[in-house]
Each structure stands twice: as structure tokens, then as C-alpha cells.
A and B are shown apart, each in its own frame.
Chain A
């Protein structure tokens, strides 16, 4: 059973460019959350997708957007990249059970470097 897979694993972009990161959730999971982790810090919640809609959002600007597909996979898009967007981007999948929190499974992350 494949766990959560993210692609690419590493990425280097130039300031002002746009980037798309991808996540396939664990089999049976229907909810995908994205987190940004700066060096030496804990992950920060970006947003969560369920039933192809953004269900919750953290304190991130509109430059950060996402999408969820019918097969539950998800994309994170960041426009107009800034140097400060350099971070590890983590995807976590869970199974939605009537509003209860269930264990999250994480991908290996995408290391984004903006130069």
C-alpha cells in the first residue's frame, strides 16, 4: 500500500516564477493538507482540501492556491515566488470520519529553493 507521495522532491526556482507541487494521498484517504516548514521551525498549515474544495486555510497570502482532483490527489501552486517561500512543503493525508480527527500520514516533502 503506497503511502503519501509527493513530487518533485527538490526544486529550484527564480524569484517571480510560479511553481506547482503535487501530492497523492494514502490509499483510502480523502483529505489532503499542505504545510510549509521553514528551516529549524515546525510546519505551518497552509490549507486543506476535501471533496475537491478548500475547506480550511491558514494565514497564507492568495499567492498560495491549490486544487484537489476527483482521485483525491492535490496540487499546491505558488505564484510570484519570493525568497521567503524557500522551505520544505509537506503534504499530509487523512480520512474524514464525521468530523473526527484521524491519524495523518505525511509525504517526504518537496524542498523548494527560491533564488
Chain B
């Protein structure tokens, strides 16, 4: 069993829809990260959180430490949101990230 599991693996939505991507992890963590990867490879950090909820524009990230679960929400989705969204965790004294396998999001106009 992977330490970080994401669902769904693939998601297609119509422009304007509300989108949710889920992440579950099996280890104690110091922080959970949501990242965005566009074709070509570059990764951009969207959120780093260890409790509660964070919001940036149309993006919202939540985490439930007791349930070891996090969600990334996108409101009013747009075709430019199409990308791979990756959940990653850092745990204990480890300074590296452990990644999920990513969710390929396609938003159709």
C-alpha cells in the first residue's frame, strides 16, 4: 500500500464545475502539500498545510489530521486549470517529500 493515495486518477469536468480531488495518507506527517504540474514537467506548489483550511483564489485545501485525509477543491473551474494535481507529505524529521501518483484534471470549455 502506498503511503500517499490520491483519487480519482483522472477527472474530466465541464468549465464552471466544482472539482474535488482527494488525498489519503498512512503515516504521521508534519505537513501536506498540494502541487500542480503542467505538461512539460514543472511543478508549482499550491498549498502547504498542517491543519485546517487554506484558500487562494479559486483553490481551497482542507486537511483532517485525525482521518489522515486532505481535499483540494477548485471552484468555477476553467480550462487553464487542466493539469496534474499531486498530493505530497513530509513526515517527522524527514525533509523529503513522499508523493501521490497524481490526478490528471481536464476541464473542457
A interface, CB within 8 angstroms of B:
31, 33, 35, 37, 40-45, 48, 55-56, 58, 88, 90, 92, 94, 96, 99-101, 103-109, 111
Contact = CB atoms under 8 A, between A and B. Distances in A.
- The dominant DSSP class at the A interface is strand
B97 interface: yes
B27 to A, nearest CB: 14
B41 interface: yes
Contact of B95 (A58, A94, A105): A94
A105 B48 CA distance: 12
A90 B41 contact: yes
A43 B33 CA distance: 13
Interface of B: 4, 30-31, 33, 35, 40-45, 48, 86, 88, 90, 93-102
The winner among A94, A101, A107 for most chain B CB atoms within 10 A is: A101
B96 A108 contact: no
A106 B98 CA distance: 14
A58 B40 CA distance: 24
Contacts of A109: 40-43
A42 B42 contact: no
Nearest to B104: A40
B42 A108 contact: yes
15 contacts: A33-B95, A42-B99, A42-B101, A43-B43, A43-B86, A43-B97, A45-B98, A48-B96, A92-B43, A101-B90, A103-B48, A104-B45, A106-B42, A109-B40, A109-B43
